[in-house]
Amino acid sequence: MQDIREASNPAVSLSAMEKAFASLYFLVQRRIAHTTNFEPLLDLLSFLGLNVKEQIRVAKNATYTSDKTVQEMLYVISEVLEDDTLKELASSDHFALMFDESSDCRNVEQLALHARYLNSAGDLQVKFLKIVDVLQPEIDAIARTARSGDGDPNEAGVISLNAEVITKRVKEYIEKAGIDMQRMRGVGTDGASVMTGRKRGVVKRLKDDVPCLIGIHCTAHRLNLASSQAAKCVKDVDQFENILRQLFDFFDNSNIRTAGFLVVQKILLPEKEGGGKIDTPGKLLEPSTTRWLSVGNSVERVKKAFPDLIVTLQREGTERADARALGLNRLVTTYKFTATMLLLCDVLPHINALSKAFQKQDSDYTVVRELVKSTVTTLKSLKETDGVNMARLPEFLAIAKPGAQNPPDETHFRNNVRGRYIDALTENLQDRFNSEDCQGMSLLLSLFKPSDIQSMPACELPDYGKGTVTAAHEFFKASDVLGTLDELQQEWVSLKNYITQVSEMSDTDLIQRLCTRQALQAVYPNFSQLAKILRVIPTNTADPERTFSQMKLVKTKVRNRMVEQTLDAILRVVIQGPPLDKLPVRRVVQLWARKKNRRLTHC
């Protein structure tokens, strides 16, 4: 009987399957089509002397190279990676979600879920959880109703991407993953009305289940809105950005114009001081108001290629009789365009630097406050004092001659463009970042400000923060992570004294100590919990945005029939997968074997 079972279920080498899984992992991590390239890769290994393909071929019907088997192998790798993340997440006292939605190449609405939590050492972790086809369950339900004949197909339902559907998908995943929803402390979104609507938004619906939940509008999105809306407030800056888009389209729509532009750059290339040529600026960049950093990068590229741009437009206009080129040349060589270009080259790098800081995975709100204040101060100084680029205005006007030299324009620009734009930008920044997203966030930030405590007169210290501690206890009492109000007030007295004894401790330092040092957690258990809550609250939704960038590289027009499970598995490997040498290959193979009672040998 044993012989019959072994004949029908032949054993496969564990070592060979580990190599096969490693080969598949190599393909998937590099976003290479795995079902069509897995067997050719094994053939290449055979050519190089590693006979993996022959070693895993144990019978005519057990080659382990079919498309179906390769997909099963991918799903097992993904399952192991997901289980590791969920186990770590389940052991954390607090977590927050970040999610956003976007459509793939087939116009399928996808929801990207990410989590922020602290591991056992107290270190912040930001992990990809799931990509979800938001509308497919609704489509399936309507189709089942129509097929069953229980109702009128025309009245079966209207498919809509609304807050109810998104909330339903999020809660379904949380429940299926076995995550305690009551430990969720924050939700980060892009600020769209479907997410943040006060009455029926996704955050409001989740708060109905978790009252102490803190909803966050992504700081990077807020910054981009502040910048783009400030430009629209000033007519000349708005017109400049329109010309910028026209310049990009002019060259992007013609390979011949682009080639001519690059040739002019090489001809006019200046010499380096030590000899040799300076690198050419390259093609113009697309200025998109929805893509972070793009306008600043586009303006900087135009500035670097300014002489080449003017020569190219003049050449296209005269030699090719291109009226559009002549029109753009007249616009580019004005005082208004030149001065606005240099102004934005002074202003936007500060906005871009702020955006990059906000997009960091480990950023927290204590840093956000400080950076916004310093950026506003820097921008205000540019209102009266020329930046490094505006100081070169005469040099650029000489390049743009003769149309740019119109003295009356200087007074108009300084008063009605430069001043108004910087005022609008700083006011927008202060309006969007002056107050926190909700009461809970404001309370947390007020508690963890050691600089205020250290600079306070000793006579005022005993009463400082008592009301804030009471309000924080009231806000978070539903979470069941805090002790009594008396215990919290006693800890607060001791914590203030501790802060006064430690010199030069920033907000971030205090939070990090309470999250990672066991001795402090033993003395201040309640404030350690509050510090951990503040640490996991997301400041941005950059990670879901990056997931969508990867999705567009994975699910392309060539691979447009990819199903949701495959897309999710590939993205998990691409985004979350460790280096190949860190992948628990043996555990993956053993799980794969258990799923269909496959036998493994150690030979």
pLDDT at 149: 63
Query: Which pLDDT score is estimated for 146?
Result: 64
Instruction: Decide: residue 485, CB within 10 A, 0-12 exposed, 13-18 middle, 19+ buried.
Output: middle
Domain boundaries, the chain: 2-80+562-601, 90-217, 223-433, 439-536
Calculate Rg over the CA atoms of the chain. 30
Looking at the chain, the whole-number percentage of residues with pLDDT higher than 70 is 91
* Closest to 200 (Cα-Cα) out of 164, 157, 161: 164
Token pair in block for residue 124: 């912040």
Do 84 and 63 touch, CB atoms closer than 8 A?
Answer: no
Query: What pTM does this model have?
Result: 0.88
Low-confidence ranges of the chain (pLDDT < 70): 1-9, 140-160, 271-279, 402-408, 435-437, 603
Query: What does the block give as tokens for 400?
Result: 């743009």
The predicted pLDDT at position 319 comes to 87
Residue 484 burial (CB < 10 Å; 0-12/13-18/19+)?
Answer: exposed
pLDDT digits (tens, 9 = 90+) for 327-352: 999 999 999 999 999 999 999 999 99
The CATH classification number of 90-217 equals 3.30.420
Residue 9: DSSP 8-state: S
Query: What's the pLDDT at 472?
Result: 93
Q: Give the whole-angstrom CA distance, residue 482 versus residue 541.
A: 28
